[in-house]
Amino acid sequence: MVDEKPTHHKDAETSEFPREARKWHQEAGLTARAPSGGGGRHMSPGPSCLAPPRRRCLLPPLLGCAMNQNGIRVLLFDIRSPAQTIPEGIQFIRGDIRHLSDVEKAFQDVDVSCVFHTASYGMSGREQLNRNLIEEVNVRGTDNVLQACRKRGVPRLVYTSTCNVIFGGQVIRNGDESLPYLPLHLYPDHYSRTKAVAERKVLEANGSALERSDGVLRTCALRPAGIYGPGEQRHLPRIVNYIEKGLFKFVFGDPKNLVEFVHVDNLVQAHILASEALKADKGHIASGQPYFISDGRPVNNFEFFRPLVEGLGYTFPSIRLPVTLIYCFAFLTEVAHFVLRRLYNFQPFLTCTEVYKTGVTHYFSLEKAKKELGYEAQAFDFQEVVEWFKAHGHGRNPRSRDSEGLVWDGLLVLLLVTVVFMWLYPVILSL
């Protein structure tokens, strides 16, 4: 077995190689893409770590670049080619995680030592409403990765899960990994449900025999909070789009409600540490284990985004609406999307799931990740994110207030008036 260059905790905490990796990631504007019929994105699955010529690492761009900076050969598996030239030491293979043959092709003629399976679909917006594609990517895709790992003799697998596998709208304060999964019918959205199914498959596969060696597959799962950072492509562009269209006119819920986020650099650190903690020299301490990963700073969702709003030159809204009203609004939006999706697959302003994930307190303890992985969350702010968006042409132009923004304002007011009427209608009838 070829020795790979070790990735130490010290390296993971050092800002030098994440910053260099992030620089390429920002310039390339890379995220993994969804299947062509998906109308969205899913992140690439990641198999492996190696330094010598025949050992590789299948990773999404930012994590792949960080490991490449640390002397490890990287293989990036994705559904679309990166937008810009990939740095030396990273090889790209096009493939679809839903197809076992594509996944197995990525393992051909290489000796894979660790898989980083980061693929997912259906986290937010209209993606949440595409149940078939959610199931295909999150469940079938995970089955394919597990099968390929066993068949090709891969000894380690790190799965990127989500904190939503145990959150169903209930208040959670400083929850830990002892919290149970929900019964499948109680998950309020298909994304969380399928991620829970996939995570259990991964953790139950821990210790399973490998076909090409006498060893076993070691697995663990990371449960990140909402991800942010320069170049993040799932949440922030949609938020900035709403801000620029003048749709960010209100906040909702109790200002004391707290949620969590994780910066991409902290998440990269957690993945590297998790892969190391599956090794024999660490006593396989992470084998079969889940870990919550965040910045460790619970915060009100809207206050968290205040620096982004104001940094781009916009006014943070002072109007606060009740959660029940916004939930009704989101429900009507989902109904409209269901009726019109074949004619116009529009982006819902909010989904019901996004309302309760935003408006209900839920945050988790990092003690297990600190103790077993050596994870230490670094402090970040929104300045880099603001600068990234400004560099890509975003930010308020004080000289203009275009007609599109006025139209969106009018539509938003009309929709809110309609929802308020429907919300109050039963009360009016009872008078």
| Alpha carbon distance 123, 195 (integer Å) | 10
Taking only the tens of pLDDT, the chain with its 431 residues reads 222 433 333 333 333 334 444 444 433 333 333 333 333 333 333 333 332 333 333 435 667 777 777 777 788 888 877 766 777 778 889 999 999 999 999 888 888 899 999 989 998 888 888 999 999 999 999 999 999 999 999 999 999 999 999 999 999 999 999 999 999 999 999 999 999 999 999 999 999 999 978 899 999 999 999 999 988 877 899 899 999 988 899 999 999 999 999 999 999 999 999 999 999 999 999 999 999 999 999 999 999 999 999 999 999 999 999 999 999 989 988 888 888 888 888 888 888 889 989 999 999 999 999 999 999 999 998 999 999 999 989 988 755 455 445 445 555 555 655 655 565 556 555 55
| Alpha carbon distance 139, 122 (integer Å) | 12
In angstroms, what CA-CA distances link 201 with 84, 117, 293, 303? 35, 13, 20, 36
Q: How many helices (H) and strands (E) does the chain have?
A: 15, 14
Residues 6+ apart with CB under 8 A from 413: none
Residue 326 counted as domain residue:
no
| Alpha carbon distance 240, 230 (integer Å) | 13
Residue 361 counted as domain residue:
no
User: 3-class SS at 346?
Assistant: coil
Residue 248 counted as domain residue:
no
CA 317 from chain centre, in angstroms, equals 27
Domain at 155, CATH number: 3.40.50.720
Alpha-carbon Rg for the chain, nearest whole angstrom, is 22
Asked if residue 269 lies in contact with residue 13, where contact means CB atoms within 8 angstroms, the answer is: yes
Q: Facing residues of 421 across strands?
A: none
User: Residue 227 phi/psi, 5° resolution?
Assistant: -95, 135
Residue 430 counted as domain residue:
no
Using alpha carbons only, what angle is made at residue 224 by residues 223 and 229, rounded to the nearest 5 degrees? Answer: 165
| Burial class (CB within 10 angstroms; exposed 0-12, middle 13-18, buried 19+) of 394 | middle
What tokens does 324 get? Answer: 């029940």
Residue 426 counted as domain residue:
no
| Burial class (CB within 10 angstroms; exposed 0-12, middle 13-18, buried 19+) of 376 | middle
Among all residues, which ones are annotated catalytic?
A: 191
Residue that has been written with the tokens 């943070």 in this structure: 316
Residues 6+ apart with CB under 8 A from 397: none
CA 104 from chain centre, in angstroms, equals 24
| Burial class (CB within 10 angstroms; exposed 0-12, middle 13-18, buried 19+) of 192 | buried
User: 3-class SS at 129?
Assistant: helix
Q: How many domains does the chain have?
A: 1
What tokens does 31 get? Answer: 């995220």
Q: Which domain holds residue 161?
A: 9-232+260-295
**Helix 264-276 vs helix 61-69: crossing angle, to nearest 10:** 60
| Alpha carbon distance 251, 219 (integer Å) | 40
pLDDT score at 83? 66
User: Residue 387 phi/psi, 5° resolution?
Assistant: -65, -35
pLDDT score at 430? 57
Residue 62 counted as domain residue:
yes
Residue 241 counted as domain residue:
no
